[in-house]
Amino acid sequence: MMANNNYNYQAHTASLSNIPDRNFLWSVFQKVDRDGSGSINATELQAALSNGTWTPFNPETVRLMIGMFDRDNSGSIDFNEFGALWKYVTDWQACFKSFDRDHSGSIDRQELQTALIGFGYRINPTTVDMMVKKFDRLGVGTIAFDDFIQCCVVLHTLTSAFRQHDTDQDGIITIHYEQFLQMVLGLKV
């Protein structure tokens, strides 16, 4: 289950694209900021994002992303936070497309397994099947773009929490039940 220290999906995605021109980003930001408040909330962001399936972007993924980029904990993102989020989504889109080998617009079990191996995770097929079931909102055996982001962010977050207790990095931890609850309930997922 543990990720290889030599490879990290964040480092992989960070190298895929550059932040676009500030003027372009500002025009997009103004269109997304429908109420003109100077910040974008989860509802506005969800309406602006496309997952490629003609369905609304997963609200849970939107919530996770707002939480990741909302530096002042206001529940919304300002222009600078939006620029970082834009790059993040664009990089994830490139990453998603690179693993969508059949160009179906979704990730199947084998493509997810390949992606996870590429990110340095050694996860058995049964667990990968569970992940597909967990993040397949449409119930078709595949994961859409927005759900792929959520899947990877959740896996990374859980792995980071696990590693805090896995001091010898052998993939095994011993914790009490309350420690487990505190670890899981304390996560931003």
Q: For position 53, what pLDDT does the model report?
A: 67
User: Residues of the chain whose pLDDT is less than 50?
Assistant: 1-17
In b/e form, how buried is each residue of 55-72, taking b as 16+ CB within 10 angstroms?
A: eebbeebbbbbbebbbee
**Residue 18 confidence (pLDDT):** 53
pLDDT at 16: 41
- pLDDT recorded at residue 127: 96
* Rounded distance between C-alpha atoms, residue 39 and residue 36, angstroms: 8
